[in-house]
Structure 1
Amino acid sequence: MPSVRGFWLSLSCFCFFVMPRPGNAHPVIQHKDVLGSHLRHILPKLGMQFGWRNLTCQACKILFHIIDLELETVDNMDHIANMVAWVCRKLKIGDDRECTSTVQLFKEDVIYVWVHSVLQPDEFCGLLLNNSCGHWDIFSDWNVTLPDTPKPPIKPPLPPQPGSPTSHVLYLTDIHWDREYTPGSNPNCKESLCCRNRSRVGHWKAGYWGEYSKCDLPLHTIENLLQHLAISGPFHYVYWTGDIPAHNIWEQSRTDQLRVFRNITNLIRKYLGHIPIYPAVGNHESVPVNSFPPPYIQGNQSSHWLYEAMADAWKDWLNPEALNTLRLGGFYTVKLNPGLRLVSLNMNFCALGNFWLLINSTDPAGQLQWLVGVLQDAEDHKEKVHIIGHIPPAYCLRSWSWNYYHIVNRYESTISAQFFGHTHLDEFEMFYDEETLTRPVSVAFLSPSVTTYINLNPGYRVFHIDGNYPESSHMVLDHETFILNLTKANANSSSQPVWERLYGAREAFNMETAFPLAWDNLLQRFLNDDGLFQKFWYFYHKGHEQEVCRNVCKTTLLCQLRTGRADDPRLCEHLKLEVPPDSFQRRWKRPRFC
């Protein structure tokens, strides 16, 4: 996958703020720039000239030990912020504007976390790089409590009888509207987001409808998509799983975020308002990006400003009970029809990028325990449940992810489908029984993004669901992916673009069903049929040609597809490894971006 410098920019700036404190967490006031002199002395020797991702384990430990020792001699937090911006520029994480603006944006929230966190230098490098660089257990193990009610007998799903009704669910995710997208601008700039009115024009110019680069979408492309969807279908529901703003994370404000949120919400209501719409919260909705404090954080640092805006904008789509939990923590449940319930999770409470979890990561907002209660009630009333969210479960913190996996195992007969976004790519995550890790119990569908970021066609998905009738499984029967081919669209920008069907899953992969067992079988076929896998690789990137994926690339991706649980390479032990196991364990970890 392509690297996304903007994510590392925000993460690195956070990292240089959130430092471990021996004893008192508050800085001692002195007037000598000890930290600055140490950093200026050591950074050139460490050879860090090509960005944060080239930071070695040794360099990380040296750097953070120095900062740990010297922070208490720094004059004030503004001085620390200036040093962080200097380090950001020195490591070439971003240019001057990106580094300075991001530091200022993150400063207030991150200082609070810094004061209350207990992370040590070696732990921090283990967190930032990987476990081979240091052990970190700040995200300690914890468990949700399951009811004593016995798990119902397992009944393998059966295809619906011929002629049974089918529901069509439109799935939209990762829209990422860039208000400054400018056709003809430079798609290959030095910043984390290009194709903007400030990008210097080069030989390569951004297309009218979008561009294959690190660019988000103009409003006219998003509106064209919605106009197309308004006359497509029919759709029974819309699942919309967040990430509305662009990737210009260094210059965002609450006012900007709310303006973007309301504009896109109003557009969706304008064109799709006749259809029930059920949203979920993305990680880009907040300011700073990924900043979602648990509900016990009050005052200006809380997420109250965002959840209240969402509750107000979505009040026509959700009932009062759902709006109450939305205001509390950004999650909710609603009954779609007799026999089917929807749960919308706030997956930011499991995200590694959410630095608030460094204070306390144990079931933030009690969301997972709440989920258990919802699922048990659904089981008691013989309801099926669809779960939607933004960040996929395997991208979550380990304890949260393992607890969620355990919940899915317990309620496999109740959870009919899981839907997520975030990666911008077309993929899925498998869930297996915890006893043997061989029997597939569920599959999480990770749908492709509307945005082009990075190097993709715009896209959306339609799920075919077992419909609304007594004893319906409400499981996914098939799905279709649609794209806007930018090469064709930009070649004649004066004409209306064509949103075309890229593929249907069962047809493309010759699957008898779209139940979990069929996806598990498909993974086995990918191992032995490279042509079939390369077809998947093409769809994975929404129909935009990429380098062929073989050997380590293929093995790594198959491992990612096989596990809906974070940090558990055991699920991939059966794969034909092309690299040593220790190297593979490092490679299989998902890049956390978007």
Structure 2
Amino acid sequence: MKSPAITSAVTVLLFMGAVAIRVSGRPYQSEQIKSIADTAKLSDVSLNLSCDLCKVLAGIIDDLVSSNRTEEEVIAIATEICIAFNIESERVCRLMTKEYKDMLFGVLVGHYLSPDQLCGSILGDSCAVPYDPKSEWNVTLPSTKKPPVVVPKPPKPGSPQLRILHLSDIHWDRMYQEGANAVCGDTLCCRSNDGKPSDPANGAGKWGDYRDCDTPQIVIENLMQHLAQNEKFDLIYVTGDLPAHDIWNQTREDQVDILKEITGYFLKYFPGIKVFNAVGNHESAPVNSFPPPYVTGKNSILWLYGAMAESWIDRAKWLPPDTRTTIMQGGFYTTMVYPGLRVISLNMNFCNDENWWLQINETDPAGELQWLIGVLQKAEDVKEKVHILGHIPPGWCAKVWTANYYKIVDRYESTIVAQFFGHKHKDFFEIFYDEKTLSRPTNIVYIGGSVTPYSQTNPSYRMYTVDGNYNGTSWVVLDHFTHILNITEANLTDKPEWKLEYSAKAAYNMKSLLPSDWEEVVEEFKENDDMFMKFYTYYFKSHVTTSCDSNCKASMIIM
């Protein structure tokens, strides 16, 4: 089964071919496209976008040079390529090519990539040398000297604590239908238009399904009811990706509706509790399309940023009016939570390799990182502490962007006391080390699991306990507790139950959750297979379908 990321990359690729055909002036006939697909012997392409496939399609591009075909003709050609190469089902191909039309014409017409550059951009430098529109670039740090690092002291017994709810990757599928085909062959299944499977065992479960299916409304409502009735918390962090994975059939109106409806859920079930959101890569239509501010007209992203501001500022009152400027500039913001604690929400789509607008210029899109430095410096000056929210974890971003972000975190390690991200649907963490020696742990990125079961995990949410609001507080994370919904049990009993999966301190025998403590945990993983396998189980949110040998273990420890 193809992932949405692969489907998105293939769509970009086939559109590149279609755009090159548009530019060439030589009509490419259906028979030629089918002949290329047959000759390439890529019958397994639906399972894996390979480097070889990329270069075959890039060869089509390279063979075509300049012309005046209409956009409608390009869509038709792109659709034929998608179908002939079995990139997706015919139904998805016909919808996907239309979905991506405006973005691809906006990015790629007049912007030609060689086959190697193209494949490297999509698949990475293991396939070919990627296109580099930006070369190396660096943010500018202020001349203010980094203050001495002070390790936070454990709070005294009985000190006030905050409880923060973290939700990520809700991926609400409003077309989810119990009993629908869960093995439909598309990127996303279990939907009302997938029909009934011939084998009843392949029907979607009432409370969700592990097989490439997103979150049914009944699970979202059950989660909200459970949280309202059984949990106490002071704040909510939501780290992006509200819509489903039907990336071939989304409109701007669909995405805005989901944003409004999810906002309504929080207002209904948690009145008076502030929710701090970060924008995910699935919030846009098409997916991953986040043009920088200089892109105007029909390809502008202001339609989404305006809806975010309307929901979070005007309607819910979670954010003050002064956050509107940067939200409209680039989908990021900062605000005070309590005296001494500031939240910064980043738009990580400006570090996303699949955001093809960055192929034009990736240098600090929207000035976000330079803005971040300014906010952190002001926070340091007045001794505020900062929680950073984002969607895509820093370690999964474009290399140059990540290097600059790493430099910023290193400089402001005493100001940034916690980072919260999502996107990967799994439960894990990243450790930052000092830039000079790469030996002293300085910061932790908490990557919470997803609400969606897509793919092969149980739905989850996380609760953090944080040093609370009192004079001298550190605002650091003291412990976190992950809760899961076992889909198998829920579908068998029709009694969904959100159960505590683990506490970080108890599971890993931690004194505290400072960066140095997390480094000790990782060292324990290296020597203690039982401890590592505990982490491996939690990584998949207690739905483990694969084994993990020594090579797997080594790759996960350094991922």
Deviations 1:522-579 (A, max 9, x none): 111111111111111111111113222122211111111xxxxxxxxxxxxxxxxxxx
Question: Residue 307 of structure 2 corresponds to which residue in structure 1?
Answer: 309
Q: Distance in 1 between matches of 2:65 and 2:49?
A: 21
Contact 2:165 2:235 in 1 (8 A): yes
TM-score w.r.t. length of structure 2: 0.95
Question: Residue 384 of structure 1 corresponds to which residue in structure 2?
Answer: 385
Secondary structure of 1:311 counterpart: helix
Matching of residues 394-405 of structure 1 within 5 Å: 394-405=395-406
Q: Distance in 1 between matches of 2:372 and 2:29?
A: 46
Contact 1:178 1:218 in 2 (8 A): yes
Comparing 82-91 with 472-481, greater Cα deviation is found at 82-91
Deviation at 1:273, TM superposition (A): 2.3
Q: Match of 1:82, as an amino acid?
A: A
Matching of residues 553-564 of structure 1 within 5 Å: 553-560=552-559
User: Per the alignment, do residues 57 and 35 of structure 1 end up closer, same or farther by CA in structure 2, a change over 3 Å counting?
Assistant: farther
Say whether 1:134 aligns with 2:132: no
Deviation at 1:186, TM superposition (A): 1.8
Instruction: Name which of 196, 199, 203 aligns with 2:200.
Output: 203
Contact 1:33 1:74 in 2 (8 A): no
Instruction: Name which of 155, 161, 165 aligns with 1:166.
Output: 161
Q: Distance in 1 between matches of 2:57 and 2:299?
A: 29
Matching of residues 424-503 of structure 1 within 5 Å: 424-493=425-494, 495=495, 497-503=496-502
Q: Distance in 2 between matches of 1:365 and 1:116?
A: 23
Matching of residues 47-86 of structure 1 within 5 Å: 47-51=41-45, 54-73=48-67, 75-86=69-80
Contact 1:20 1:117 in 2 (8 A): no
Matching of residues 147-162 of structure 1 within 5 Å: 147-162=142-157
Comparing 369-378 with 462-471, greater Cα deviation is found at 462-471
Secondary structure of 2:10 counterpart: helix
Say whether 1:251 aligns with 2:249: yes
Secondary structure of 2:192 counterpart: coil
Q: Match of 1:51, as an amino acid?
A: V
Secondary structure of 1:251 counterpart: coil
Matching of residues 367-378 of structure 1 within 5 Å: 367-378=368-379
Question: Residue 180 of structure 1 corresponds to which residue in structure 2?
Answer: 175
Question: Residue 528 of structure 1 corresponds to which residue in structure 2?
Answer: 527
Say whether 1:97 aligns with 2:91: yes
Q: Distance in 2 between matches of 1:20 and 1:198?
A: 29
Question: Residue 11 of structure 2 corresponds to which residue in structure 1?
Answer: 13
Instruction: Name which of 178, 187, 190 aligns with 2:185.
Output: 190
Q: Distance in 1 between matches of 2:470 and 2:161?
A: 9
User: Per the alignment, do residues 5 and 86 of structure 1 end up closer, same or farther by CA in structure 2, a change over 3 Å counting?
Assistant: farther
Deviation at 1:43, TM superposition (A): 2.5
Say whether 1:216 aligns with 2:204: no
Secondary structure of 2:200 counterpart: coil
Q: Distance in 2 between matches of 1:499 and 1:28?
A: 55
Deviation at 1:36, TM superposition (A): 5.5
Deviations 1:58-92 (A, max 9, x none): 55334313312314257333333222222222332
Secondary structure of 2:109 counterpart: helix
Matched length: 552
Q: Distance in 2 between matches of 1:171 and 1:104?
A: 35
TM-score w.r.t. length of structure 1: 0.89
Q: Distance in 2 between matches of 1:6 and 1:164?
A: 45
Deviation at 1:53, TM superposition (A): 6.2
Deviation at 1:57, TM superposition (A): 3.6
Q: Distance in 2 between matches of 1:386 and 1:483?
A: 24
Q: Distance in 2 between matches of 1:415 and 1:481?
A: 23
Quote the sequence identity (%). 45
Deviation at 1:44, TM superposition (A): 1.9
Q: Distance in 2 between matches of 1:101 and 1:70?
A: 25
Instruction: Name which of 279, 296, 320 aligns with 2:277.
Output: 279
What RMSD, in angstroms, separates the aligned Cα atoms of the two structures?
1.9
Deviations 1:119-156 (A, max 9, x none): 32211112222313322223421111000000001122
Q: Distance in 2 between matches of 1:461 and 1:279?
A: 15
Deviation at 1:7, TM superposition (A): 2.5
Contact 1:242 1:282 in 2 (8 A): yes
Q: Distance in 1 between matches of 2:478 and 2:457?
A: 26
Q: Distance in 2 between matches of 1:76 and 1:343?
A: 44
User: Per the alignment, do residues 358 and 230 of structure 1 end up closer, same or farther by CA in structure 2, a change over 3 Å counting?
Assistant: same
Secondary structure of 2:500 counterpart: strand
Secondary structure of 2:100 counterpart: helix
> Where in structure 1 are there 5+ consecutive unaligned residues?
561-594
